[in-house]
Amino acid sequence: MTVFSDLMAFQRETEALGQIAGRLGWDQETMMPDGAAEQRGEEMAAIENVLHARRTDPRVGAWLEKAEAPDAAGARSLELIRRTFGRNAAIPARLASEIARVTSVAQGTWAEARARDDVAHFLPTLERVVSLVREKGQALAAAGFGGGDPYDALLDDYEPGATAGGIVAMFDRMRPRLVALRAAVLGAADQPKPLSGEFDHARQLGLSRDLATAFGYDWTRGRVDLAVHPFSSGSGNDVRITTRVVEAEPFNCFYSTIHETGHATYEQGIDPAYLFTPLGQGVSMGVHESQSRIYENQLGRSRAFTGWLYARMRAIFGDFGIGSAEDFYRTVNRVQSGFIRTEADEVHYNLHIMMRFDLERALFGGKLEVADLEDAWNTRFATDFGVAVDKPSNGMLQDVHWSVGLFGYFPTYALGNVYAGCLMRALRDAIPDLDASLARGEAQPATDWLREKVQRFGGLYAPAEVIERACGFAPSEEPLLDYLEAKFRGIYGL
Ligand code: ZN
């Protein structure tokens, strides 16, 4: 055995254990009996300890010094193992276990605070989390990650290569156009009708399965279950999705399913040769989100596809008070100022992200104290959305991310939208009659193109690189903004 194959054999087992940990997490959110929560906590902690020990194993360091890759995929695998090893080595063991301990409790405290609309209950915990994650960012920066900048070093974990500076510049270009579009749309005389009525639970689930199929989900290597907050889980030949059903809100079920199908087909579409290697998973949060978003929005909320969905819904649910496919398209894409990020339409979504990004950078840059976060949130929200936050669960307590120490994560959602905009431009050029198949409820040609251009590469290329190779141009916000303006000006008759 060469040093390289020793390392890859060791890594293979680490990756397999990582998949097992993920499946425990899936079980916890879907199947696990309530009474098992504490026991599961200990089981998860045990496997996380094993994973941490393997990722920081001194043998990995020794192998990395001597290993020689046989090919480009091997070289990229070494690069990714080296990165993970370096990041873990840079964080003192004491700090890593303190972060794990504090954030596991913090998530519960956040949930209590959100349920009671009690910011004060959460603030001491959030102070502790921010201070620990700040320390982590500094430790990573000191080891050279994020170009020596603590926030960039955190961001680098979710979107390697991205920097706060680059995102600030991009958001500065996006914000005026989004704000103007939002104002024009909300001021339009002819507003789309909201959906009303009740839609049977089982029938919603049935149609959501058809939607996953339409987008190319491989049921022989996946399954769908219910979860409170839909997610997808797993890689390779076991990639599961979840959805939720609210009888009065069928779009929630359908578009959650399409979104998670996007994440899942990415994982299912990765070259099987990469399974159990560092290349065997989606390369970054941003690229992952580009797949879920292009499925959900650019394709799933297109005029062509909603025409098919309208006919299917009429066949399944009967008349639900919307008289034409065109009206249905407008209803699906109805723009509304709302408090909740996860329920935001395409026009508002990135404004939610920009706000979180600015606030968390202010927290990390020492320009904002945790105690002042609620005020800062509410002031900014009123400015950007034109509505006063009515309660903390509709404001700064709505997202779980900060409680579990995910700082530097939010901007990857906006990057995903931007990448999706780029991919859609390239996809339309590549398949001029795309709408004809979407109108028949067939998204397979789009999935085939995305598989060929993005999904199969897994972790082989860096995030911005895989998008650029797919599109033939460097990623920018321009295609997304052009798409949004054309679409919503059309829908609102502007
Ligand atoms: Zn997603």
Phi/psi at 243 (5° precision): -145, 180
Distance from the alpha carbon of residue 263 to the mean position of ligand 1, in angstroms: 7
Q: Which residues contact 31 (CB under 8 A, 6 or more apart)?
A: 225
What residues have their beta carbon closer than 5 A to ion ligand 1? 292
φ, ψ at 225 (rounded to 5°): -135, 175
The pLDDT value recorded for residue 234 is 98
pLDDT for the residue numbered 313: 98
CB atoms within 10 A of CB 105: 13
What pLDDT is stored for residue 38 in this prediction?
Answer: 83
Enter the DSSP assignment of 109.
Answer: H
Q: Are 300 and 258 in contact (CB under 8 A)?
A: yes
Q: How high is the pLDDT of residue 48?
A: 87
pLDDT at 1 over 80: no
Task: Note the pLDDT of residue 40.
Answer: 86
Closest C-alpha to 108, from 120, 122, 97: 122
Mean pLDDT of 298-308: 98
pTM beyond cutoff 0.85:
yes
Instruction: Write down the mean pLDDT value for the chain.
Output: 96
pLDDT of residue 100: 86
CA–centroid distance, residue 363 to ligand 1 (Å): 25
Angle made by CA atoms 301, 315, 296, in degrees to the nearest 5 = 15
- The arrangement of strands across the sheet holding 224-226 comes to 224-226, 240-243, 232-233
Q: What is the pLDDT of residues 168-199, one digit of tens each?
A: 999 999 999 999 999 999 999 999 999 999 99
| Digit-coded pLDDT (tens) for 393-439 | 999 999 999 999 999 999 999 999 999 999 999 999 999 999 999 99
Can you tell me the distance from the alpha carbon of 190 to that of 492, in angstroms, rounded to the nearest whole number?
A: 7
pLDDT (mean) for 364-389: 95
- pLDDT for 271-280, tens place per residue? 999 999 999 9
The pLDDT of residue 365: 87
Q: Which tens digit of pLDDT belongs to each residue from 20-55? A: 999 999 999 899 998 998 888 889 889 988 999 999
Cα 493 to middle of ligand 1, angstroms: 30
pLDDT of 188 reads 97
List the catalytic residue out of 15, 159, 260, 477.
Answer: 260
| Residue 307 contacts residue 329 (beta carbons within 8 Å) | yes
84-140: per-residue pLDDT in tens? Answer: 999 999 999 889 889 988 988 898 899 999 999 999 999 999 999 999 999 999 999
Tokens of 398: 């709505």
pLDDT at 42: 86
Residue 432: C-alpha distances to residues 41, 118, 429, 436 (Å): 51, 52, 6, 9
Q: How many whole angstroms from 221 Cα to the centroid of ligand 1? A: 20
3-state secondary structure 187-235: CCCCCCCCCCCCCCHHHHHHHHHHHHHHCCCCHHHCCEEECCCCCEECC
pLDDT-derived band at 345 (thresholds 50, 70, 90) equals very high
Which residue carries 């209590």 as its tokens? 112
Contact 243, 224 (CB under 8 A): yes
Q: How many CB atoms lie within 10 A of CB 199?
A: 21
Q: Determine the average pLDDT of the residues in 234-240.
A: 97
Distance of CA 262 from the midpoint of ligand 1 (Å): 8
249 classed as catalytic: no
Task: Say how far apart CA 432 and CA 439 lie, in whole Å.
Answer: 14
76 or 366, higher pLDDT: 76
| pLDDT score recorded for residue 183 | 95
User: Could you give the angle at the alpha carbon of 157 between the alpha carbons of 216 and 154, nearest 5°?
Assistant: 140
Torsion of CA 408, 466, 63, 147, to 10 degrees: -40
Q: How far is the CA of 10 from the centre of ligand 1 (A)?
A: 30
Q: What's the pLDDT at 233?
A: 97
Write down the pLDDT at residue 34: 87
Are 443 and 215 in contact by the 8 Å Cβ rule? The answer is yes
Pairing of strands 232-233, 224-226: unpaired
Angstrom distance (rounded) from CA 305 to CA 487: 14
Kindly give the distance from the C-alpha atom of residue 357 to the centroid of ligand 1, in angstroms, as a whole number: 17
